[in-house]
Amino acid sequence: MGMYSMDAASAFEKLRAEERFSQVNDETLRGLLLRIVKANDSYNDTLNEDDYYDDDEAYDRLCRVAAEGGADLDTAEELVDAYMEINDEYLEALGLIEWE
């Protein structure tokens, strides 16, 4: 797990606690989240110190990876939205991002 990504296990627990994605079995959801986290880490690794995190570009990459992992397009988009939201909360709690 990279410095700027909530790990897949924590994301899974948070989504299950919120009773989200009940239509997706546990094994599939864990696998999709692992793919999403790895893709997010990979995207972050491409950024230089002065670059900014482009939400749109990251969203497109993460959706593609989730779809390649077997999620239908609607589920992939919904899952990536949820992950990006909880990851932002995680980063904010760590003081790694601030909203202007």
pLDDT at 89: 92
Rounded mean pLDDT of the chain? 92
Q: Which amino acid is at 29?
A: L
Q: pLDDT (tens digit, 9 = 90+) per residue, 52-62?
A: 889 999 999 99
84 closest CA partner among 13, 3, 5, 27: 5
**pLDDT number for residue 59:** 97
Predicted local confidence at residue 100, as pLDDT: 65
pLDDT tens for each residue of 9-19: 999 999 999 99
> What does the pLDDT average to over 70-89?
95
